[in-house]
Amino acid sequence: MQTAIDQIDDRIYRISTFVPDAAPGGFTFNQFLIDAEEPLLYHTGMRGLFPAVRAAIEQVLPVARLRWIAFAHLEADECGAMNEFLEAAPHAQVAHGELGCVVSLNDQCARPPRPLSDGEVLDIGGASLARRMTEITTPHVPHNWESHMFFEQDSGTLFCGDLLSQVGNGPAVTGDDLLDEAIAAEELFHQTSLGPAVPATYRRLAGLGPRRLAIMHGSSYDGDCPALLRAMADVYEQRFGCGGQNTAAQPLPGQDAAAQPLPGHAGAAGSGPGSAGESR
């Protein structure tokens, strides 16, 4: 494994660890450090990555200076080292959406987290650098009930977690179109909780007008961010069946979803008890 740190905007850094055997072509696990008056780390990485991520942060600022720790949702690669960072940074506090705090983080954090309501702004900047993190709740998008994102208003950076993931070890930031790579990753991992909320959320995020997407897996993006988000919303509707009530069922591996009745039910509509035309 190798861990690198790159500046992707004024005092916003991408920390990236490439794991060659995590996926075909390898996979990056990315954290983002905002060096503001109240420094914020977005994603901690797994506990096993804590020494490497800590060393990368120390190239910019002492870890003990961290004031905020945040992440998109509760998974090991997002927040596995959460309590290690809380121990290393005695004044740090986890900031997350209200739901995530109630469901999990009030119990799991070494100290109480800071809950944020949808649209609430966490001001981490100061006189020399404006940095305002807006809470965006995104339940079940791309997955997990407590999912949320941060939109930093002044730089226009959307910290969008697993959205638009890509395999491989691309550049820290790119303006090249990522649509095909994001589709390929979705078809490989099937990581998104498919449903009508997915395209609606992508379009809501596009409406923020982000100028940069800080992506958890793969390169960050500084091209036409609203256009990319809207294009991916269309893909989820047209290719993955997230258009509404007619969302197609996903079969179990090696099975045909249409041919698999629920236990105790007939396989064909109208052939079970209570079907049309059956007398009682």
The predicted-structure confidence for 180-194, as pLDDT tens digits, reads as follows 999 999 999 999 999
For 147-193, list the strands marked E by DSSP.
148-152, 157-159, 173-174
Of the chain, the percentage scoring pLDDT greater than 70 comes to 87
What values do phi and psi take at 76, rounded to 5? -60, -40
pLDDT surpassing 60 at residue 134: yes
Cis peptide before 142 (omega within 30 of 0): yes
**8-57, pLDDT tens digit by residue?**
999 999 999 999 999 999 999 999 999 999 999 999 999 999 999 999 99
pLDDT surpassing 50 at residue 249: no
Look at the domain 2-249 and name its fold.
Answer: Metallo-beta-lactamase; Chain A (3.60.15)
Under 8 Å CB-to-CB from 141, ≥6 apart: which residues?
Answer: 147, 163, 192, 193, 197, 198, 201, 202
pLDDT surpassing 50 at residue 262: no
CA distance 176 to 264: 51
